[in-house]
Amino acid sequence: MLGLSTWQVLLCAAIAAVVAYCTTVTSTILEYAWWWRDRVRARRRLVRLAARMPGPPAWPLLGNALVFMASPQDQLNIITGFFEKYGPYVRFWLGPDLNICIKDPADIRMLLTSNKINQKGPLYEFMKQFIGPGILTGGPTWRNHRKIATPSYNKKCVVRFAKVFNREAQVLAEALLKKDPGRTFDVYHDVVACTTQCVCQTLMGLSKEDSTNVKRMEELVYKTQTIYSFIFTKMTHWWLQIPLIFSLTGRKKIGDEYLRLLDDFSSDVVAKRRRAMKESPVVDEETLGVVDRFLLSGEMSDREVKWETFTLFTTSQEASAKIAAGVLLILAHLPEWQDKVHDEILELLGPVDCDVTEEELKKLHCLDMVYKETLRYLSIAAFIQRTVEEEVTVKNGELTLPSGASVIIPIHMLHRDPHYWRDPYKVDPARFLPETVRERDPNAFVPFSLGAMDCLGRVYATSLIKTLVVRVLRKVQLEADGNIEDLDLNVAISVKFADGYNLRARPRV
């Protein structure tokens, strides 16, 4: 080797190795230094931009966290007070995390449709323990998983699902006819049984027989609200986010049991579909449920399939049940609107109780107004949180939302803002009359969110709920006592009546 001795070759090799090692270490140190420098610069800019926004004074390190050590309802009142004092743009700190609440309709539309905030906020991390990253919680897989599932929610599929919707709605109507006319009961329990069967036989792809024999499904449906409350409590009580305290309070044990319940249910649904597809290969892809699409895609792990199966099951059957029960309760409390909707059904669909189609549902404008008022009064999501990935301006360029901040869209408050809604705390379907809608900012009503991360099931849920109401009203007269506005609301992940959906049912004469 050019006359070099063995020891000289070894020395050169050693020197080269040391130089390479030093170069690697130096490069790593420089990369870390640059990363840290960029992080410090970004943090300084976040703090500087936050200082230009209206909001309450914050303590060092804690921010405004102490203010939010209250019940969820009190937390809502605190934010309402912030809006009253500072206007429709409010910033507050939860420890080192910057949160920006925005209630301006135009900016809400702009932000929800922007590709600069297409990631869910940190609050959704609390849901990932149960359903992982995906369609509802965001993360690297949500877009692809949503693309796989979307065809099962489109109009063509929903039209095909109408047969199941009608059949199960008829079962619900018959169940209500058997109630004691003088007894008040919570109609949600009957409605959720109906929507559960509809979702199982459509989106889950199960047969009628299989859908009545899913492992632990009845227990899961019964405990769903409790699981939501469990998640929301951890979201809103920072001390429970400390692992030791979470464990010592016994909540970890409870959470682990919920996880087993969810896994038992979703595993059984997936196993049933695997077995069914093996026995009878898919012929018509247009009628596939979401579970079949996940399995056939070949792009998802078994764990991801189970996570998304539970996610789409519960967001479809539970949310639809709350809104459908809300429509029935509003009709029970507003007999004049119940008569309007019933008369409209008879006039436009005829007196014969038969299956209602998607095209027929579109004709029922009074029903549509009651449905929309229910969505306004009982928001499917009380708020939406997004993470700012790239700086974006609001308020006509006056304010800049810094990268790394969380944006909160308070839908429940937007739907009650007196700037856009006359008598916002009153239940009044007439606010959705065409002439009234034309006078209102269209962005003040966003029940299904907007943009790439909007509600996947909006078409599905609308068809299911309206079909259910039509078939019930043909046979059942609904009644309730008192004023609906006097009923307490529970505002958490979603909005619902705190003490249930209590009414009476009697055969329609």
DSSP class per residue in 349-418:
H-SS--PPPHHHHTT-HHHHHHHHHHHHHS-SSS-EEEE-SS-EEETTTTEEEPTT-EEEE-HHHHTT-T
Is it the case that residue 39 has pLDDT exceeding 80? no
174-189 pLDDT, tens digit each: 999 999 999 999 999 9
pLDDT, residue 33, reads 54
Whether residue 279 lies inside any domain: the answer is: no
Rounded mean pLDDT of 269-283? 87
Whether residue 272 lies inside any domain: the answer is: no
Is it the case that residue 420 has pLDDT exceeding 80? yes
Average pLDDT value over all residues in the chain: 90
Residue 104: closest CA among 424, 423, 420: 420
Is it the case that residue 35 has pLDDT exceeding 50? no
Strands 97-102 and 89-94: antiparallel
Rounded mean pLDDT of 315-331? 96
User: Would you state the structure tokens that stand for residue 416, as one six-digit string?
Assistant: 């009650």
- What CA–CA distance (Å, rounded) separates 477 from 459? 27
pLDDT, residue 491, reads 87
Residue 100: closest CA among 402, 380, 396: 402
Is it the case that residue 27 has pLDDT exceeding 70? no
Is it the case that residue 4 has pLDDT exceeding 70? no
Looking up residue 458, the CATH number of its domain turns out to be 1.10.630.10
Is it the case that residue 9 has pLDDT exceeding 70? no
434-489 pLDDT, tens digit each: 999 999 999 999 999 999 999 999 999 999 999 999 999 999 999 999 999 999 99
Residues 405, 100 contacting (CB under 8 angstroms): yes
As for how many domains the chain has, the answer is: 1
487-499 pLDDT, tens digit each: 999 888 889 999 9
The confidence band for 293, taking pLDDT boundaries of 50, 70 and 90, is very high
Whether residue 33 lies inside any domain: the answer is: no
Residue 102: closest CA among 413, 452, 491: 413
61-95 pLDDT, tens digit each: 888 888 887 776 777 888 889 999 999 999 999 88
pLDDT, residue 89, reads 96
Q: Crossing angle of helices 302-333/251-279, nearest 10°? A: 100
Q: Crossing angle of helices 458-475/155-177, nearest 10°? A: 30
Is it the case that residue 1 has pLDDT exceeding 50? no
Is it the case that residue 347 has pLDDT exceeding 90? yes
The confidence band for 433, taking pLDDT boundaries of 50, 70 and 90, is very high
Q: Of 224-238, 299-313, 472-486, where does mean pLDDT reach its minimum?
A: 224-238
What domain range includes position 420? Answer: 61-188+312-507
Whether residue 56 lies inside any domain: the answer is: no
Is it the case that residue 31 has pLDDT exceeding 60? no
351-366 pLDDT, tens digit each: 999 999 999 999 999 9
Side-chain-facing half-sphere of 345: CA atoms under 13 Å: 25
User: Would you state the structure tokens that stand for residue 424, as one six-digit string?
Assistant: 């916002």
- What CA–CA distance (Å, rounded) separates 293 from 270? 11
pLDDT, residue 7, reads 73
Residues 259, 130 contacting (CB under 8 angstroms): yes
- For residue 439, how many other CB atoms are within 10 A of its CB? 9
The secondary structure element, H or E, covering residue 174 is: helix 155-177
Residue 382: closest CA among 123, 146, 133, 107: 123
Rounded mean pLDDT of 209-237? 89
Amino acid identity, position 100: I
User: Would you state the structure tokens that stand for residue 130, as one six-digit string?
Assistant: 């149960």
Is it the case that residue 162 has pLDDT exceeding 70? yes
- What CA–CA distance (Å, rounded) separates 295 from 285? 13
DSSP state for residue 52 in the 8-state scheme: T
Rounded mean pLDDT of 16-26? 68
Whether residue 9 lies inside any domain: the answer is: no
Whether residue 288 lies inside any domain: the answer is: no
Whether residue 78 lies inside any domain: the answer is: yes
Whether residue 32 lies inside any domain: the answer is: no
pLDDT, residue 281, reads 75
